[in-house]
Chain A
Amino acid sequence: MNRALYAAATGMAAQQKNLEIVADNLANADVAGFKGAAETFTDIASRAGTLGTAAAGTHVMFTQGKLERSGGPFDLAIQGAGFFAVADGAGRLAFTRNGEFSRASDGSLRNAQGRRLLGTRIPADAISVNVASGGAVTAQTATGEKKCGRIRLAEFASPEYLESAGGTLFFETNASGKARFVDPGKRGGPELKFGMLERSNVTIVEAMMQILAAQRAYEANAKGVQAADEMMRIADNLSRD
């Protein structure tokens, strides 16, 4: 009976984990460049007699989100593989698909967390800025066009092993391999789209369905716990009749 109780309890824990992941997907469904995740579970039944299930891993779905014209003066989107490389104050690199940048007072392009996009600095006298699909950044100034750097994209041998830093940020790990910087706009490679943002790849309807299914599964497992408990009570009463 305790085996059944334990198995049902692991089922409840699994669905709880499932709900957390889907809730996170849903919460970030409107965040540009966000990548939804899914949890996988595995049977832990063994010859020793344990029953139940366990969370085995979280998989971030690095599928392309839809590109949308956004109107932000420094918005960028990636069509294809790769990440923007952004550095914090200490120079530590993080990687993101979120291309919502704004110009800081020092001319660098920074994301919402204040991390600096590598490769470009906009001169103070720039009237307008353009980024070509190949990553070359040019600024129109009163005295003519000025080149101001090139945005390169980071690619990884196995992006699935990047460490999620919450939201749209990722850190490289040993398992993901080192970031390899590539010029966008090459044949067959990723392209930069200026003035556009990549929507998250989370489908709200699908996430809602997953939440409903996880809730029902949670309840079903709770029923299992209840039944195991009730049967223990009955067995316990045997000795008192």
Chain B
Amino acid sequence: MDGIAWAASAMSAAQTRLEIAAQNLANGSADGFRRSLARGSLHAEGVRVDVVRDDTQGALRRTGRALDRAIVGEGSFLLRGADGRTARARSGAFTRDRFGALRDDLGRTLVGTSLSRGSYVRSGFLESSNVDAVGEMVNVLEAERSFEAAQKVLSAIDQTAQRANSKMSEFK
């Protein structure tokens, strides 16, 4: 396949890796957040990065607030927004409004929980994000280096083609 297209696909893959790492790092303090993993693979058209959500449990942390809830195991809180739509979330920092309903910080009302077998809810705890900051820093650096490397390959191919072109013109 075309070397230039291949190097370009490697550069855009590195860019996607950086986006994933930056998104994970940014949400390190977002409770219930689940990190995304970059899954790279080689194809005829070049390098492709797929985004896969990592659903491993985040660490539970005691907050002392009775209305904080964390799910242990698989499952989610069912929240109804002002638009009537029901959404699922893992973050459980609720407040009780004066009508007695539990609301999250986006103003959505807790209407139930959907739990897998063996899962349960703990009050007074929140589930921290499952982001590993050190690992994400490594991902950031790796993305940067592989971007750089692909750019070097691209420049090398470009220079070779240039040289070939000028040689060709000598024979004219």
Contact = CB atoms under 8 A, between A and B. Distances in A.
A41 B15 contact: no
B56 interface: no
Given A43-B27, A51-B19, A223-B140, A216 B106 contact: no
Given A41-B31, A223-B140, A241-B155, A51 B98 contact: no
B47 interface: no
A228 interface: yes
A200 to B, nearest CB: 13
A42 B105 contact: yes
Interface residues of A, number: 50
Interface in A154-201: 157-158, 160-161, 175-177, 201
Interface of A: 1, 3-5, 7-8, 10-11, 14-15, 18, 38-43, 45, 51-53, 56-57, 59, 61, 63, 157-158, 160-161, 175-177, 201, 214, 216-217, 220-221, 223-224, 227-228, 230-231, 234-235, 237-238, 241
A52 B23 contact: yes
A10 B33 CA distance: 15
B11 interface: yes
Interface residues of B, number: 44
Contacts of B106: 42, 56
A177 B26 CA distance: 35
B48 to A, nearest CB: 18
Contacts, number: 143
Contacts of B100: 157
B83 to A, nearest CB: 15
B97 A231 contact: no
B26 A161 contact: no
Given A177-B98, A220-B137, A221-B26, A57 B18 contact: no
